Structure 1
Amino acid sequence: MRDLALAPPPASPLTGGLADRLFETATESPGLPMLAHRARPASATWERITALEFRDEVVALARGLVASGISPGTRVAIMARTRYEWTLLGHALWTVGAEIVPVYPSSSREQVEWILRDSGCVAVLVEDEQGVMTVGSVCAALPRLRHVWQLDAGALDRLVARGEFIPAATVDSMRRIVLPDSTAVVAYTSGTSGHAMGCALSHRGLAFMSDTLLANWGHVTALPGEQAAVLAFLPFSHVYGLMIQVLCVRGGLLMGHEPDIGEESLSSALRTFRPTYLYAVPSLLEKIYKNFLRTAQLSGRGALFERAAGTARDFAAALERQRLGRGAGPGFDLRLQHALYERTVYRRLRTALGGRVLRATSGGSTLDRGLSLFYEGIGIYVHDGYGLTETSGGVTMQPFGREKSGTVGQALPGTEIRVADDGEILVRGPSVFQGYVGDEAATRAVLRDGWLATGDLGRLDDEDYLTITGRKKDVIVTSSGKSVAPTALEQRLRMHPLVHQAVVVGDNRPCVGALITLDPEFLNDWRAALSLPGDAPAREAREENALREEIARAVAAANSSVSRSESVRVFRVLSEPFDVANGLLTPSMKLRRDAIVRHYALEIDAMYQSRTRPGRTPAVDEPSVRDDSDNVFR
């Protein structure tokens, strides 16, 4: 077992609750713009709320909560998208010492019932009529639930009116008795296997994480003398999105809210809000990259973009070698090429993201090294960090000036990391959760002498950079006994423009296989570019063969990063994506691997049977990957 060397913790420990910083900012800088939201959906105009205005709205709403019987320790669920009202209600709840239970608005009836019952919520805020219907259908099983507030029906205005007789001094006195170790949030895990579990996160834990990030990396969120601006679009129902909210409010960063994460709305929000720092997840960064490529291909500049992307990666890799003391940096020719593409390509790409983004953070899952190098090469370095619900968000970050793409950086100051003999990552520090609500056995299973057993696998290099290799429960063991972590292969597969999703399978099978879904937009463009002659049946057959070979090339490219025994030898292209609606993704968009394997059991069996059918050489012995029986249009 190996320990990671520690840096000193930040200097100013929390003395109260998370709401205190808002009240301090409103007193010290009342006119500071803190929050923003669109005047109406898809509008280019953003309404800004100052620190003083936000505090006053928080106090008014907190008075209404008190009048409704919400008191310290009471749990209230928020089941809404990333809206200004989420942040407003959240801080009002923290002001009176209540505990927030975030719930994804896309959650199923069963998930909603489980979370509200398990947490013992007395109230829930939903967005619309659909949310009311979902909660209403399970109310009979929720004896503690007293209030269902509908946001779009004016619930917050009615709460404010209801609390007019409550003195503001009552709210202030309630805020002052909130202790740092009081529970601030009960955040439920994604529930990739079995029921989701509620993680009790303290005010101290959430504040420690955000304050540490601000103290060590706050200076890179904007140009000197400029207020940092962050566009919040990740769900506050996930600890990563909640971390962004806490960090922005505590750090005085202007936070814009974008509830619609559809491609068109998000693109519009980035262009009009113009953030200086971007918080994202790998899937979004992959999608942005593919959209850049697709736009270039549609305009006949696909080859130019690919050359520019290659130069960006080479330039960033040379810069990395230089800052790590392993090389002299980009040579003259590479600098010349990079300068040319800066004028013709990279500047336009940054403009599509608003034109002001200096850096970004990727979280939620690991980021492909090549993708990280691409973004650095076009002028936006992406920090790949690591954290989980049980650690209130972040655990690691890239050290400024010593960033190493392909890793998730080093432990945050004040946090300890160990890698056990079996490769499991262990974490200890102030941000580690208080335990699973109502499940002492599960808490004891992961908390050992203050160390959190994360369930993630990783390794530390000689400079204490952490690399995530996968989840313990996701490791595939083939029939020959070979252990394979699927994450890296899936990540590489998704980098092909045609591949939308990929799930690696192979437990107790002779080799590793993959289930693949296709990106419909790229598929349409790819078909149009083929321009195959012949009648409809002939064209369809040629398209099918050509597509199968294109996906085989994507698989072969992914295989180049692993050993032969770990490589994908068979694959199947599926006709529909993994989705929350079909139960194959969690509300946080994570794969439900067990559910996927059960759902596609027949397809998986057929995939492996075709590999070993009589008269055919097994795919594992072939020089290239191919599944001749697979109909990619099925």
Structure 2
Amino acid sequence: MSASNDLNEIYASSFRDNWTLPAITNYGTGKTYLYSDLSYEIAKIHMTYELAGITPGDKVALIGKNSPGWIMVFIATITYGATIVPILQEFNPTDAQHIVNHSGSVMLFVENNIWETFEFEKMPRLRGVISLTDGKILAEHPLNDGRMQKQLKNINRKFSRRYRGGLKPDDVRYPVPDPDNVAVLNYTSGTTGFSKGVMLTYRNLWGNVTFGIHSRLHYQGSRCLSFLPLAHAYGCAFDMLVPLAVGTHITVFGKLPSPNLLLKALHEVRPNLVICVPLILEKIYRKQILPMITKKGIRWVLSMPGIDKALYALIRRKLVDAFGGEFEEVIVGGAPLNHEVEEFLHRIRFPFTVGYGMTECGPLISYTPWRQFIPGSSGRTLPVIMHSKVLSDDPENIPGEICVKGVNVMKGYYNNPDATEAVLDADGWLHTGDMGTRSADGTIFIKGRYKTMILSSNGQNIYPEEIEAKLNNMPYVAESLVIERNGRLVALVYPDYEAMDKFGVTNEELPKEMEQVLVELNKLVAPYEKVDKIQLIANEFEKTPKRSIKRYLYNA
């Protein structure tokens, strides 16, 4: 790995080396930007910052759906030396405006439809607001006296004067910031109240990017379909930062990734690597594979040695084709993968692996290529740049809190020393809040969140996520949440209305079906994990923008 820790030089070098290759295509319009076009747009945003009086270290907020323009603003900001503040577009306007204020952002890039819901006067530190939709100035601070509007009015003429004859590869030179300067201020969605601003430095991003480069997750000329939110650390690192560092062609999928639309896009783009969250694999398994393998005739075939292998190979081929057919592996992250789904995918030799990370590590902590992946694990701690330990007397067998240390670990929470001190100890170990075990080679096995762990009356640790994973595979269960009430376990269940309609189960019949589900569930769990009752809820669980259930709302 480069000893310089110079993230910006990685991008300058990549853009020069890949000048004539496609960089970004907008899936919605088909418009493609070459790396030369990307460099041009970045240079123009740099000039915009100069003319607007933005200096290195200033905060620039960014909110909108995944798009080429979103990527350009993000990369332009960090290569300028300023701090980007990406905000998930799913945040309500009040929360988004609070983040703009809390971060101290002086400029905001925003899509027009989102801007219509904002109130400019409630964000007094903003000097100006620029449209991601058409590049126009949407608002300017009254004390500016219209200076930004005047300065940017003739930006094209000023740009032409600076780069006579057009921007050339040799013109792509970016400043070298201190590796410990904050590059990204990322506000986590959180499930226990208002999110905190995670300070990710240039060194943190460099750790993630160089690992991706040296692991050849992406490579020059490879194809990538970017459909996870780029405002979230996972999608940001591996659907944008790593691809652009090596000359990958990114197709940006800015729509809500429903399975049908997504499978169509995967078929068209044929990516060489697929980065996804468990929900996508689980939906495909439950809607397409499970009905197939539970048919009476198929169950009989699967019980026949030799024939089962042929059928598994057929299912594997269909799944591989569904994801475009040309990928090396599917990397699953962002949440635990359902055990049943994982076990089946492993049995059919589907090329997938499960990684582990968190926003506070920008995000990567552990990963193993699919051929070495151990089912039930979350990969091996990244060699050299990251270290892990489990706070347990027997880390390989008795779960304890997982702690990590290394290049990827954040600087802290912005303007929140108490929250920082609560997770980062004096020796630099980040206390993740996740409970698990760790093998001698650094492979991590996650059991659940420390905050959600339930201590049974006989002293056993119960991880509700493990029970929920089993329950979510039961008939007519769309999603569930296991909580403790008066010393007993209760499962809150939101029904799978689509399955009920398909099999003709009425609302009146559902409680009886749930009684059978409870019986079957309790056969699969340990005696101390037995669920006392299932309580049906009428509406979907409230979720964060990351689609995590807001557990704290249901613990009363």
TM-score tier (shorter): 0.7 to 0.9
Aligned with 1:247: secondary structure?
helix
In 2, are the aligned partners of 1:209 and 1:394 still within 8 Å (CA)? yes
2:246 & 2:367 partners in 1: Cα distance?
A: 18
The answer on 1:235 being equivalent to 2:229 is yes
1:513 & 1:484 partners in 2: Cα distance?
A: 13
Q: CA distance change for structure 1 residues 340 and 435 in 2, over 3 Å: closer, same or farther?
A: closer
In 1, are the aligned partners of 2:14 and 2:244 still within 8 Å (CA)? no
1:75 & 1:90 partners in 2: Cα distance?
A: 11
The answer on 1:351 being equivalent to 2:328 is no
Q: CA distance change for structure 1 residues 50 and 479 in 2, over 3 Å: closer, same or farther?
A: same
Aligned with 1:23: secondary structure?
helix
Q: Residues 277-333 of structure 1, C-alpha deviation per residue, up to 9 Å, x if partnerless?
A: 111111121112122147759xxx95567678x68xxxxxxxxxxxxxxxxxxxxx7
Letter in 2 for 1:595: L
1:462 & 1:96 partners in 2: Cα distance?
A: 42
The answer on 1:48 being equivalent to 2:32 is yes
Letter in 2 for 1:572: Q
Q: Which of 151, 171, 195 matches 2:132?
A: 151
1:263 & 1:497 partners in 2: Cα distance?
A: 21
**Matches of residues 378-457 of structure 1 in structure 2 within 5 Å?**
378-399=348-369, 401-414=371-384, 415-421=386-392, 423-448=400-425, 449-457=427-435
2:287 & 2:311 partners in 1: Cα distance?
A: 22
Q: CA distance change for structure 1 residues 391 and 555 in 2, over 3 Å: closer, same or farther?
A: farther
Aligned with 2:436: secondary structure?
strand
Q: Residues 251-273 of structure 1, C-alpha deviation per residue, up to 9 Å, x if partnerless?
A: 32222111112333222211211
1:363 & 1:595 partners in 2: Cα distance?
A: 25
Letter in 2 for 1:31: T
Letter in 2 for 1:234: L
In 2, are the aligned partners of 1:180 and 1:204 still within 8 Å (CA)? yes
In 2, are the aligned partners of 1:22 and 1:55 still within 8 Å (CA)? no
Q: Residues 439-488 of structure 1, C-alpha deviation per residue, up to 9 Å, x if partnerless?
A: 11221221111111111111113554211111111112456655421111
Gaps of 5+ in 2: 139-148, 393-398
Map of 1:611 onto structure 2: none
Q: CA distance change for structure 1 residues 400 and 160 in 2, over 3 Å: closer, same or farther?
A: farther
1:103 & 1:393 partners in 2: Cα distance?
A: 16
In 2, are the aligned partners of 1:408 and 1:468 still within 8 Å (CA)? yes
1:406 & 1:162 partners in 2: Cα distance?
A: 58
Aligned with 1:432: secondary structure?
coil
Aligned with 1:427: secondary structure?
strand
Identical-pair percentage = 27
Letter in 2 for 1:521: E
Distance apart, 1:128 and its partner CA: 3.1
TM superposition score normalised by structure 1:
0.76
In 1, are the aligned partners of 2:346 and 2:375 still within 8 Å (CA)? no
Q: Which of 157, 163, 166 matches 2:155?
A: 163
The answer on 1:515 being equivalent to 2:492 is yes
1:133 & 1:189 partners in 2: Cα distance?
A: 24
Map of 1:246 onto structure 2: 241
Distance apart, 1:217 and its partner CA: 5.0
Letter in 2 for 1:32: L
In 2, are the aligned partners of 1:357 and 1:380 still within 8 Å (CA)? no
The answer on 1:32 being equivalent to 2:13 is no
The answer on 1:108 being equivalent to 2:92 is yes
Letter in 2 for 1:337: D
Gaps of 5+ in 1: 1-10, 41-45, 312-332, 531-539, 579-583, 599-634
The answer on 1:370 being equivalent to 2:340 is yes
Q: Residues 322-349 of structure 1, C-alpha deviation per residue, up to 9 Å, x if partnerless?
A: xxxxxxxxxxx75543224534x43233
In 1, are the aligned partners of 2:476 and 2:499 still within 8 Å (CA)? yes
1:50 & 1:173 partners in 2: Cα distance?
A: 14
Q: Which of 530, 536, 548 matches 1:590?
A: 548
Q: Residues 590-633 of structure 1, C-alpha deviation per residue, up to 9 Å, x if partnerless?
A: 121111335xxxxxxxxxxxxxxxxxxxxxxxxxxxxxxxxxxx
Letter in 1 for 2:202: H
The answer on 1:470 being equivalent to 2:470 is no
After superposing the two structures, state which structure 1 stretch, 436-445 or 493-502, moved more: 493-502
Q: CA distance change for structure 1 residues 568 and 172 in 2, over 3 Å: closer, same or farther?
A: farther
Aligned with 1:176: secondary structure?
coil
Letter in 2 for 1:135: F
In angstroms, what is the RMSD of aligned CA positions?
Answer: 2.9
Map of 1:271 onto structure 2: 267
Q: Which of 461, 464, 467 matches 2:439?
A: 461
Q: Residues 364-422 of structure 1, C-alpha deviation per residue, up to 9 Å, x if partnerless?
A: 11113332233344453221111111111110012564220110011001210010137
The answer on 1:287 being equivalent to 2:248 is no
**Matches of residues 484-495 of structure 1 in structure 2 within 5 Å?**
484-495=462-473
In 2, are the aligned partners of 1:480 and 1:510 still within 8 Å (CA)? no
1:229 & 1:555 partners in 2: Cα distance?
A: 45
Map of 1:119 onto structure 2: 103
The answer on 1:65 being equivalent to 2:42 is no
Q: Residues 546-570 of structure 1, C-alpha deviation per residue, up to 9 Å, x if partnerless?
A: x334444444444444311212221
TM superposition score normalised by structure 2:
0.87
In 2, are the aligned partners of 1:293 and 1:302 still within 8 Å (CA)? no
1:177 & 1:440 partners in 2: Cα distance?
A: 28
Map of 2:145 onto structure 1: none
**Matches of residues 568-579 of structure 1 in structure 2 within 5 Å?**
568-578=531-541
Aligned with 1:395: secondary structure?
strand
Distance apart, 1:205 and its partner CA: 0.8
Aligned with 1:256: secondary structure?
strand
In 1, are the aligned partners of 2:366 and 2:382 still within 8 Å (CA)? yes
1:155 & 1:230 partners in 2: Cα distance?
A: 30
Aligned residues: 527
Q: Residues 570-593 of structure 1, C-alpha deviation per residue, up to 9 Å, x if partnerless?
A: 111211102xxxxx2111111211
2:306 & 2:328 partners in 1: Cα distance?
A: 20
